[in-house]
Amino acid sequence: MSHNLIKKYNVPGPRYTSYPTVPFWDNNTFSLKQWKQSLRQSFNESNTSEGISLYIHLPFCESLCTFCGCNKRITKRHEVESPYITAVLKEWDLYCELFNDKPKIKALHLGGGTPTFFSPLNLNRLIKGITRKAILAENYEFSFEGHPNNTTKEHLLTLCSLGFRRVSFGVQDYNDTVQKAIHRIQPFEHVKRATEMARSVGFTSVGHDIIFGLPFQTVDHIRETIAKTRQLMPDSIAFYSYAHTPWIKGNGQRGFSEANLPKPEEKRLQYEVGKALLADAGYAEIGMDHFALPTDALYTAMVNQKLHRNFMGYAASKTQMMIGLGVSSISDSWYGFSQNVKGIEAYYHLVENNIIPVFRGHILNEEDLVIRQHILNLMCHYKTAWNNSDSTFKNLDDTLNKLSEMLKDELVVIENNGLKITKKGKPFVRNVCMAFDVLLQQKKPEKQLFSMTI
């Protein structure tokens, strides 16, 4: 990739798991009443046909990984498990009371934190408590994030018996120096053991998460990590950029000096080398920063133009509604977003008082909905079109003007009321989406809110 293009387009930008992005939500006009109305509308429109998705945030970790930007609570006290599950199940009750029918669950994902911080017994209680008040859609998909150091065979057997078939293990990097810097000591043997155990008990899709741009990381480290990954051939791989945002995420991302991070050119070379090695191993690129073998559901979804993106990342099927349970979880009714309170004590207080524990959100207007669909098209399929009145918006001409430089640089092609991102332009998909992001262009934040795009 050209160094000039990196220099030109390496700017702070969103990762577009939503539009509008969280910093531009209109919290002043958002209300819990509006949020409930948008949920009922979406549920009535979509539950019978496609069902809903659930994300459950399990925030506890025994130690702090300094690369992590997730909402977590560091503790070794496992007595916190039971009251947290009680609160999550109570929150689920509050949502179920809004609807005139049983929710049909199409997808469920456990994230964290460290979901395998929780005992198999407590995870069993959680999932059975959720499904007891719902029905399962045909070909439903349950998945979770596993920590290779503490995922036991009992965890895997329990979750498999509950219907889980996808798991992603956080690898990050196998180099000792990098692991020490990010406080994630995790030998290859641990990942190998967890991967092989998952497959042996019945998991049909095992994913690995690998990060580039970490402190002290080099291109040779990427080569080493992917060489070891090839020994295990996970079904899917998330190969994504370390998002260095210590001004947002606090001391957890200040465990090393800025000088220890790779320069933008080095960081992009890490990605290009890694991407080529993954292609050589038989992995196809799926959306932004994701790769899968042709046998994986994500690949099939991409080929069939059914790939979807939400706050959980890429998914093989779309649901209009996604409910987030637990502290800091984000929910999406398609017509609106909401985020739960981030503090565990505040979360307990609201749930115990029968209040859905959201603290901010956004109700989308007509223009938001149109732009949202364009950005979703670009992030999932690298193309979009505005060939009818339902897909145009007031600032479309301004958007096209902002894309003129990318057109000259052959990153995009614009013709017949449509846009396609070229192969050369795929690494800049976030920059293309930013041209459509009316709120980002209008409000121009004074301080840096997002990680760099390259």
65 is in an annotated binding site: yes
Other CB atoms closer than 10 Å to residue 377's CB: what's the count?
A: 19
Find the distance separating the first CA and the last CA of the chain, reported in whole Å: 11
330 is in an annotated binding site: yes
Backbone angles phi, psi at 13, to 5 degrees: -160, 155
Residues whose CB falls within 8 Å of the CB of residue 5, separated by 6 or more in sequence, listed in order: 409, 411, 428
> What's the CA gap between 325 and 339, in Å, rounded?
10
393 is in an annotated binding site: no
172 is in an annotated binding site: yes
Helices within 20-142 (DSSP H only): 32-46, 81-96, 120-131
Residue type, 10: N
> What's the CA gap between 383 and 418, in Å, rounded?
7
55 is in an annotated binding site: yes
Please state whether beta strands 60-61 and 412-415 pair in parallel, antiparallel, or not at all (unpaired). Answer: unpaired
Contact 367, 358 (CB under 8 A): no
113 is in an annotated binding site: yes
67 is in an annotated binding site: yes
Q: How distant, in Å, are the alpha carbons of 53, 55, 319 from that of 310?
A: 10, 11, 10
Angle at 307 (CA atoms; ends 426, 317), nearest 5 degrees: 160
26 is in an annotated binding site: no
> What's the CA gap between 274 and 255, in Å, rounded?
25
243 is in an annotated binding site: yes
Q: How distant, in Å, are the alpha carbons of 3, 300, 308, 332 from that of 284?
A: 25, 11, 16, 29
289 is in an annotated binding site: no
Ramachandran sector of residue 256 (left: φ over 0; alpha: ψ -120 to 50; beta: rest): beta
> What's the CA gap between 1 and 338, in Å, rounded?
38
Residues whose CB falls within 8 Å of the CB of residue 214, separated by 6 or more in sequence, listed in order: 67, 172, 173, 178, 181, 182, 242, 261, 262
209 is in an annotated binding site: yes
What tokens does 242 get? 């370390």
Backbone angles phi, psi at 132, to 5 degrees: -60, -30
Question: Running DSSP on this structure, what letter comes out for residue 263?
Answer: P
Backbone angles phi, psi at 438, to 5 degrees: -60, -40
Q: Which residues are annotated as a binding site for S-adenosyl-L-methionine?
A: 55, 67-69, 112-114, 145, 172, 184, 209, 243, 330
Instruction: Return binding residues.
Output: 55, 61, 65, 67-69, 112-114, 145, 172, 184, 209, 243, 330
Task: Give the residue numbers of the binding site for [4Fe-4S] cluster.
Answer: 61, 65, 68
